[in-house]
Amino acid sequence: MKNSKKLVIAYSGGLDTSYCAVSLSKAGYDVHAVSVNTGGFTDSDIQTIEQNAYKMGVSTYKNIQAVSTFYQKVVKYLIFGNVLKNNTYPLSVSAERIVQAIEIIEYAKSIDAQYIAHGSTGAGNDQVRFDMIFQTLAPEIEIITPIRDQKLTRQEEIAYLKLNGVDLDWEKAKYSINKGLWGTSVGGDETLTSNLALPESAYPSQLESETPQTITLSFTKGELTALDGIERTPELNIQMLDQIASKYAIGRDVHVGDTIVGIKGRVGFEAAAALIIVKAHHLLEKHTLTKWQLQHKDYLSNFYGMHLHEGQYLDPVMRDMEAFLASSQHNVSGTVEIVLKPYHFLINGITSPHDLMNAKFGSYGEVNSGWTAEEAKGFIKINGNQNRIHQLVNSEL
């Protein structure tokens, strides 16, 4: 019976996915639990999740290491595009969900599962992201969502698990924390309001360092390839930078935005590395790209971030935009000097062989050597033609 009902569940180890694992196993499904590490799990975390998964009656548990995949498929392009949703949020969690969904559905296909399940409710964004990826990549696999379909309360889930011999500590933490390579989200009672700020204690990284520290970020064609001259893979540099900068309690903010299902949402986050990298990379681009590259990148990057947030990762337009973003990085190489201070950071400046502030062509507001005074006057006259014509035509009406 079980072999004919093979099911893969996106398993985090929390209450919702634990309820799903137990109830689906009791319903006769052959349940295979999968979690995807996109930067938020330690080895100890994974071991605990695995131990608890088997307590829920699953047949197998698998953890998929996807930090590098997450960087290559998504984070790299968020950096290329300097993506901050509503000029605030680096898409820490929403970006992760896309890669997690892809990895889970590919695993389900690899073991010939007939069903796939997740613990999303009917009120959030994740249900859209998971379902869209699942139904696009494997339309033959049926999606099962017990929490959404049964509209269960937290108390009902706990009571069911206790009735079935699962009595773990399900006491809800005051603040929900979701950590990954590109940042950590923080939710609590305050984020359900429009006026209350999260307290200092809500953030997982507390202020430890108060003495200013200067570091250099080295970029090669838009990718972070070194910190203070020490070369590592970009994803390791991101993790290393986060360890350093989070001790200054840098990168905290609250994002307010529109959810996919049409309601407003508010969430706190800390993303020290993400915000520093985006701002440093953007400054380097200001020095190395033309004004038209910068202008067109700006709106395309905004579209890229929006489509990613909305779960549209598999639409081919995303590959088109990624190609543009990657092409724009050809000359985005150099170093950026950053000063870390409690709760904030400063960017001193950049050094790059592609710096377009080349002094031999003149300095802004100073003496130039690339054109004559008469050439400047002629340029200004022609540049103002449209305004002059408009003024002459319409002032007589």
Domain-wise residue ranges, the chain: 2-163, 176-289+331-351, 361-395
b/e burial code for range 71-101 (CB count within 10 A of at least 16 → b): bebbbbbbbbbbbbbeeebbbbbbbbbbbbb
What is the topology classification, in CATH, of domain 2-163?
A: Rossmann fold (3.40.50)
Element (H, E) at 35: strand 30-37
User: Which pLDDT value is given to residue 2?
Assistant: 47
Which of 294, 354, 305 is closest to 77 using CA atoms? 305
Task: Find how far residue 338's CA is from the centre of its chain.
Answer: 22
Prediction pTM value: 0.93
Under 8 Å between Cβ of 115 and 3: no
Pair of tokens at residue 102: 């892809």
From first to last of its 397 residues, the chain has per-residue pLDDT tens of 445 699 999 999 888 999 999 999 999 999 999 999 999 889 999 999 999 999 999 999 999 999 999 999 999 999 999 999 999 999 998 899 999 999 999 999 999 999 999 999 888 899 999 999 999 999 999 999 999 999 888 889 989 999 998 888 877 778 888 899 999 999 999 999 999 999 999 999 999 999 999 999 999 999 999 999 999 999 999 999 999 999 999 999 999 989 888 899 999 999 999 999 999 999 999 999 999 999 999 999 999 999 999 999 999 999 999 999 999 999 999 999 999 999 999 999 999 999 999 766 666 666 677 788 899 899 999 999 999 999 999 987 7
b/e burial code for range 223-262 (CB count within 10 A of at least 16 → b): bbbbbeeeeeebbebbebbbebbbbbbbbbebbebeebee
Which of 166, 176, 171 is closest to 155 using CA atoms? 171
> How far apart, in whole angstroms, are the C-alpha atoms of residue 300 and residue 223?
19
> How far apart, in whole angstroms, are the C-alpha atoms of residue 180 and residue 291?
34
Digit-coded pLDDT (tens) for 49-80: 999 999 999 999 999 999 999 999 999 999 99
Superfamily of domain covering 176-289+331-351? Argininosuccinate synthetase, chain A, domain 2 (3.90.1260.10)
> How far apart, in whole angstroms, are the C-alpha atoms of residue 120 and residue 376?
62
User: Which pLDDT value is given to residue 1?
Assistant: 42
Under 8 Å between Cβ of 250 and 276: yes
The C-alpha torsion from 101 through 106 and 108 to 113, rounded to 10°, is 130
∠196-200-203 over CA atoms, to 5°?
Answer: 100
The C-alpha torsion from 228 through 229 and 234 to 240, rounded to 10°, is -30
Which of 48, 64, 47 is closest to 10 using CA atoms? 64
